[in-house]
Chains A and B, each alone.
Chain A
Amino acid sequence: MTNIYSTAAEMAAALDKKEITSVELTKAHLDRISAVDGKLNAFLHVDNQGALEQAAAVDARRAKGESLSPLAGVPIAVKDILAQKGIPTTAGSKILEGWRPPYDSTVVAKLKAAGVVILGKTNMDEFAMGSSTENSAYGTTQNPWDLTRTPGGSSGGSAAAVAGFEAPLAIGTDTGGSIRQPAALTGIVGVKPTYGGVSRYGVIAYSSSLDQVGPFARTVLDTALLHEAIAGHDERDSTSIDAPVPQVVAAAKRLDVKGMKIGVIKELSGSGFQAGVSARINESIELLVAAGAEIVEVSCPNFEYALAAYYLIAPSEASSNLARFDSMRYGLRVGDDGSKGAEEVMSATREAGFGKEVKRRIILGTYALSSGYYDAYYGSAQKVRTLVKRDFENAFTKADVLISPVTPTTAFKIGEKSNDPVAMYLSDIATIPVNMAGIGGMSLPVGLADEDGLPVGLQIMAPFMQDDRFYRVGGTLEAALLSKWGKPILSNAPDLAVK
C-alpha cells in the first residue's frame, strides 16, 4: 500500500496506476506535517491550500489521460531560499519576513510544470550561512533521530522533512556542504550537482561562485528522479551549463560497479573522524570491492587549506551579494520616521534584520576584500582554490570517483557548537573542496555509528558534469547495504508520531 513511508518512485507508480490520487497523497503529508512538525520545526511555511490545488490539478490532468512527468503528483518541500511566487520566502532571515516574491525561481517553475506538489518552504540557517539551522531567525530545526540534536545545515529543514516523512522529496542548496552534511546527519540521500547543472535563477544568493541547488530524497533513485526534474540549461542563469543533463536516473538503476576505480582520499580518512563514522565507511569500501570495484588510495594534499579558503571566499562574495538588502525596494525597513536619511535607515535596518553569523560574515568579507588586505586574504584564497582543483584533477586521473566521509562526526547536540564559530566551520571540512572545484557530490547513508546509533554519510564525488557516476556507485552500494540490513535505515529512527 502506498503511504507516506513509500519512496517517491513507488508513489509515482501508484499515482500512475490510479491506486491513489495526488490529493490523497498530499493530504497524508499535510496531516503528517501537522502531527510532527511541532517537534521538528522543519517548515517555515506550509501551503495547505496551494498544495491541495496543485494536487487536484494534476489529478484532473491524469484523469483526462494527459501524458505527465515522472514525478507528477508527488509532494515536495522546498528550501526557503528559492523564490516562489506569492509564497513567503525569508531565507531564514528577519530582513525578509513577510516578503512574497512576485516571480518563481526556475527550479520552482520546473517543479510546477512537472506537476510536483509543493507542500511548503523549509527552515534553514539565515541566508544559508551555517551548519545546523541554529542561525535561522525562526528557531532551530530538530533532528528526527534525536530531537536534542541538529539536523545539520544549512538545508536542515529540507533534510529533516524528508527523514521525518513529512515529504518524500526536498530541494536544498549547497555552498560548502549544505545539502550533503544535513543528508548525512539525518540518514537520507542528498546531492550537490555539478556547478551550473541546476539553475540558480530566483535563488537568493549567498556565494555565487559556490552556490548550487540540489535534491534530497530517501533513496538514490528518488534523488535521481528529482535531479533530472530540476536540472538543465537556463538562459536566465549566466552560469548555467548549456549541455545535456547527465543520465542520472539510468545510472541509479544500473546496480553495477564492476571495473570502476574508486579513490579513497587519504587526507579525509582516519584521524579526525569519529570511530563509528570511519567503521561504516570502511564497511562500505568492502561492499564496493565485493561488488567488483577496485579501490585505490589518492592524495589531495591541499584539501587541508580548503576550509580556510572557503571562509574567505564565501564571506567575500556574501558581503557583496547581501548589499542588496538595503531596505529600499523590498524587505524590512527600520527607523524611517522622516527625520533620518537613507544611509541611516539602511544601517538601522541591517542591524535589526541580520543575525549574528550573517553580520560576522559580511564584516569578514568586507575586511578580506578591503584594500591592503585583498592579496593577503581573498587573493590567497583564490590561489588555494586552484590548488584544490588541481588535487581533484590529479586524483581523477587515478580513479573514476572519489569517496570520503561526509562529516567528521554524527549529528551534534543543539547548542554544542553555536558559540564557537571555528568549531562549527570544521563540520564542513570534507564537503567544501567539492564546491571549490565546482564538481558534484552525493551523501549516501551507510549505517549507524556504534557509539551513538546515529546515521553516517558516505560522500561520493565525480568529475565535472559526470554526476551519473556517483548515482551509479551510490545505487549499487545502497542495494548492497539494503540486502545486508534487510530494511531501510530510517526504520531505525524513533516514531515521531508517538507522544
Chain B
Amino acid sequence: MAAISRDDVAHLAKLARIEMTPDELDHMATELDQILGAVKRVQEVATADIPPTSHPLSMSNIFRADVVKPSLTNKEALSGAPAQAEDRFKVPQILGEE
C-alpha cells in the first residue's frame, strides 16, 4: 500500500498554501511515495536511546541591548511590495473569508 495517497497530498498542499492541478496531485503522490520509500530507512537505526540533533551548534539565545539601530526606511521596506496604499502593504481581504 502506498505510504501517501493523492488525498493526503491534496491535504498537504492545502496546508502549504499551494494550489495544485489534478495532474500535479497525481504526479506528486507517485513521486512522494517513491521518496518516502527511500527515506524511511532512517527508522532502521533511529533507536530510542539515541538523542536527536536539531542543529550543529549547541546554542543558547543571543541577546543585545535594547537600543534602536538604523533600519530600513518605510520607502525601502515597501520597495518590493506587490501593492501598497497609504505607506502600507496592501493585501487582499483577510476577513470575511469562509
Contacts of A439 in B (CB 8 A): 56
In the assembled complex, 27 residue pairs joining A and B whose CB atoms fall closer than 8 Å, in A order, are: A102-B80, A209-B55, A235-B62, A238-B59, A308-B40, A328-B82, A329-B81, A330-B80, A331-B80, A344-B97, A347-B14, A360-B28, A363-B9, A363-B12, A363-B18, A364-B32, A364-B36, A367-B32, A377-B36, A377-B39, A381-B46, A382-B54, A384-B45, A384-B46, A385-B54, A387-B45, A464-B56
- Extra contacts besides A305-B45, A383-B52, A385-B54 (4): CB < 8 Å: A103-B76, A367-B32, A385-B52, A425-B38
**Does B57 reach chain A (CB closer than 8 Å)?**
yes
Q: Is A332 an interface residue (CB 8 A)?
A: yes
Contact yes or no, A379 B15, CB < 8 A: no
Q: Do the beta carbons of B89 and A328 come within 8 Å of each other?
A: yes
CA–CA, A333 to B13, complex, Å? 18
Candidate in A327, A328, A345, A354 with the most chain B CB atoms within 10 angstroms: A328
Instruction: Please classify how large the interface on chain B is, using the bins under 10, 10 to 19, 20 to 34, 35 or more.
Output: 35 or more
Please give, as numbers and ranges, the residues of chain A lying within 8 Å of B47 by CB-CB distance. 383
- Tell me the complex Cα distance, A242–B76, Å: 30
CB of A20 closer than 8 Å to a CB of B: no
B59: chain A residues within 8 A (beta carbon)? 238-239
Within 8 A of B (CB), among A319-352: 319, 323, 326-333, 336, 338, 340-348, 350-351
Q: Which residues of B contact A259 (CB under 8 A)?
A: none
Task: Tell me the interface secondary structure of chain B in the complex.
Answer: loop
Beta-carbon nearest neighbor of B51 in chain A: A386
Given contacts A340-B92, A363-B28, contact A386 B56 (CB under 8 A): no
Distance in angstroms between the alpha carbons of A398 and B19 in the assembled complex: 52
Q: Is the CB of A363 within 8 A of B42?
A: no
A81→B82 CA distance, assembly (Å):
20
B:12-66 near A, CB below 8 Å: 12-20, 24, 28, 31-32, 34-36, 38-47, 50-57, 59, 61-62, 64
Closest partner residue, chain B, to A86 (CB atom): B79
Beta-carbon contact of B32 and A389 below 8 Å: no
Closest B residue to A301 by beta carbon equals: B45
CA distance A66 to B79 in the complex (A): 36
CB-CB under 8 A from B31, the residues of chain A are: 360, 421
**Pair B46/A327 contact, Cβ less than 8 Å:** no
B8 within 8 A of A: yes
Q: What DSSP secondary structure best describes chain A's contact surface?
A: helix
Q: How far is the CA of A320 from the CA of B9 in the complex (A)?
A: 17
Q: How far is the CA of A99 from the CA of B78 in the complex (A)?
A: 11
Q: Which residues of A contact B46 (CB under 8 A)?
A: 379-381, 383-384
Contact of B67 with A by CB under 8 A: no
Nearest CB in chain A to that of B43: its residue: A380
Tell me the minimal C-beta distance from A205 to chain B in angstroms.
14
Q: How far is the CB of B12 from chain A (nearest CB, A)?
A: 5
Q: Does the CB pair A367–B17 fall under 8 Å?
A: no
A377 partner residues in chain B, CB cutoff 8 A: 36, 39-40, 42
Residues of B contacting A327 with CB < 8 Å? 82
Q: Which of B8, B28, B61, B80 contacts A329 (CB 8 A)?
A: B80
* Closest-CB distance, A279 to chain B (whole angstroms): 29
A114 to B42, CA, bound (A): 45
| Residue A196 is within 8 A (CB to CB) of chain B in the complex | yes
Q: Are A383 and B35 in contact (CB under 8 A)?
A: no
Shortest CB distance B34–A (Å): 6
A residues less than 8 Å from B24 (CB atoms): 359
Q: Is A309 an interface residue (CB 8 A)?
A: yes
Closest to B39 in A: A308
Q: Which of A239, A347, A387 contacts B50 (CB 8 A)?
A: A387
Given contacts A312-B42, A364-B32, A367-B12, whether A351 and B18 have CB atoms under 8 Å apart is yes
Q: In the complex the two chains form, what is the Cα distance from A383 to B53 in whole Å?
A: 6
Q: Which of A103, A241, A386 contacts B53 (CB 8 A)?
A: A386
What is the chain A residue whose CB lies nearest that of B52?
A382
- How far is A346 from B19 in the complex, measured between Cα atoms in Å? 9
Kindly report which residue of chain A lies nearest to residue B8, judged by CB atoms: A367
